Amino acid sequence: MQDAPKATLPEGGKARRVYLLLRDEITGGRFGPGAVIPGEQKLAEQFAVSRVTIRRALDGLEADGLIARRAGSGTTVIGGGQAGPAISADMTTLIPQLVEMSARTEARMLSFAYGPPPVAAARALGLTEGQKVQTAIRVRLIEGQPFSHLTTHVPEAIARHYSEGDMATTPLFRLLERSGVRVDTGHQTVSAALASPDVADALEVSVGTALLSVRRVVRDADGRGVEYLSALYRPDMFRLEMDITRVGEGGARHWEPVIAPEAESEAAPA
């Protein structure tokens, strides 16, 4: 919906790259709705390409319904374009999130196998050489639209307690707890990554799209690693939101996340 312009731009070309960049700025909010974006001539200079190329990129954006062009006047960003992400995870109120999440979304299994873990996962989980893990790659969809690409690694001994079918219906942390694991702590790293061909395909976005990356290591009460998650999210459908507040005095004055804000205050701003 957001991706794949009608008149598909050449896969490896500059026009497409410009198209992706501009789209990113529009949906990302750098150009708000109604804003007049620079003229084609100026854009051509900024991106160091010819006006023809800019033009092709704009064609794509127009086909996507993101911009409106008027000869003589200029090109403007369509208002309705940025309807905001379908899902926004509030780091501090994950409670309603999870419930809502399971209800509104479904998971599709792309790959499921037991084998040696990637080095990064092995180290994070503290596995010894030769230990196998269950590696599952899933895509999560909301209303038929894919929004996240999940790769999980679980030590074989734990993973054997549930089946492949279970993963399509039940959140992994619940499966783990059902398997007798006392899920306790986790460590998350949030970053950004590009969509590689396989991921792009699964998420139905262009190769080279910017994705939000979350990597999580989960440990049980004894500190043993029980899950290694690598998630990639479409930024146009999913965002991390958090409220922060200013606390402390003097030199120790700093920001702190708000843990439990008003219960059901659904964010959903512009």
Partner DNA sequence: AATATCTGTACTATGTATCATACAAATTTT
Partner DNA sequence: AAAATTTGTATGATACATAGTACAGATATT
Give me the least distance between CB of 36 and a copy of itself, in Å please: 10
Whole-angstrom distance between the N-terminal and C-terminal Cα of the chain? 20
Give me the least distance between CB of 265 and a copy of itself, in Å please: 11
Q: Is residue 83 at the binding interface for a copy of itself, with CB under 8 A as the rule?
A: no
Which residues does residue 77 pair with via DSSP β-bridges, in sequence order? 67
Q: Is residue 142 at the binding interface for a copy of itself, with CB under 8 A as the rule?
A: no
Q: Which tokens hold the place of 149?
A: 């690409």
Of positions 52, 83, 109, 240, contacts a copy of itself by CB under 8 A: 240
Of positions 2, 92, 102, 131, contacts a copy of itself by CB under 8 A: 92
Q: Which residue has the tokens 């911009």?
A: 67
138 binds, among a copy of itself, DNA, none (CB under 5 to 8 A by kind): none
Give me the least distance between CB of 11 and a copy of itself, in Å please: 8
d(CA 142, CA 237): 9
**Residue 203 near residue 144 (C-beta atoms within 8 A):** no
Q: Which stretch binds a copy of itself (CB under 8 A): 1-9, 43-51, 59-67, 152-160?
A: 43-51
Of positions 108, 188, 265, 268, contacts a copy of itself by CB under 8 A: 188
Question: What radius of gyration do the chain's Cα atoms show?
Answer: 22
Residues 6+ apart with CB under 8 A from 28: 235
